[in-house]
Amino acid sequence: MAIRIEASQDDLARPFRLNAPDVVPEFRQALDDMVAIARKGHRRDSEFFNPDGDWLKSRMRIFQDLPEIEQREVLKEVEDIGREAKAANSQGKAAMRAGPDVVFRLDNGGMACYSQLGVARRPDLTRYFIEDFAGNRDSLSFSVADQRLFVDVLPYVTRYMEAAFAEGARIIQSDRQVCDAPGRSFHARQLLFGDRYPQLPYLWRQLTFELPESEFQESPDILEVSVPHWLEDLGMPDDLVARVKDAGLNQLVFRSPTRGLSFHLGFDYLGEHKMGPLSIAMFLVKQKNGLAVQAALSMARAKTIHGEVKNTAVVTAGPSLHGKSTLTIMMEFEDSDLARLLGLVHDPEEGVYPMNDDIILLHPLDEPIDTVRDGNRLRISYGIDGTENNLYAVPYGL
Q: Of the candidates 131, 122, 171, which has an alpha carbon nearest to the alpha carbon of residue 261?
A: 131
Q: How many residues does the chain have?
A: 398
Structure-derived torsion over alpha carbons of residues 224, 230, 235, 237, reported in degrees to the nearest 10? 120
Beta bridge partners of 291: 362
| Torsion angles phi and psi, residue 192, rounded to 5 | -105, 120
Element (H, E) at 177: strand 171-178
pLDDT average, residue stretch 334-357? 76
- Residue 131 CA: distances (Å) to CA of 204, 255, 284: 28, 11, 14
Least confident of 87-96, 104-113, 282-291: 87-96
Note the pTM of the prediction, 2 decimals: 0.86
Residues with Cβ within 8 Å of 29's Cβ and at least 6 positions away in sequence, in order, are none
65: three-class secondary structure by DSSP: helix
356: three-class secondary structure by DSSP: strand
CA 72/CA 293 separation, integer angstroms: 45
Q: Please, what is the angle between helix 199-207 and helix 270-287, to 10°?
A: 40
Tell me what pLDDT residue 335 has: 66
Q: What 8-state DSSP symbol labels residue 62?
A: B
CA 55/CA 41 separation, integer angstroms: 19
Tell me what pLDDT residue 14 has: 38
Amino acid letter for position 143: S
- Residue 257 CA: distances (Å) to CA of 104, 284, 295: 35, 8, 21
Per-residue pLDDT at 135 exceeds 90: no
| pLDDT tens sequence across 239-266 | 999 999 999 999 999 999 999 999 999 9
Architecture of domain 17-59+104-287: 3-Layer(aba) Sandwich (3.40)
Beta bridge partners of 354: 298
Q: Where is pLDDT greater, at 107 or 152?
A: 152
CA 360/CA 292 separation, integer angstroms: 6
Q: How far apart are the first and last CA of the chain?
A: 35
Say if residues 350 and 334 touch (Cβ distance below 8 Å).
no
pLDDT average, residue stretch 60-78? 96
Per-residue pLDDT at 10 exceeds 60: no
Tell me what pLDDT residue 72 has: 97
Confidence of residue 392 (pLDDT cuts 50, 70, 90): low
Neighbours of 141 (CB within 10 A): 17
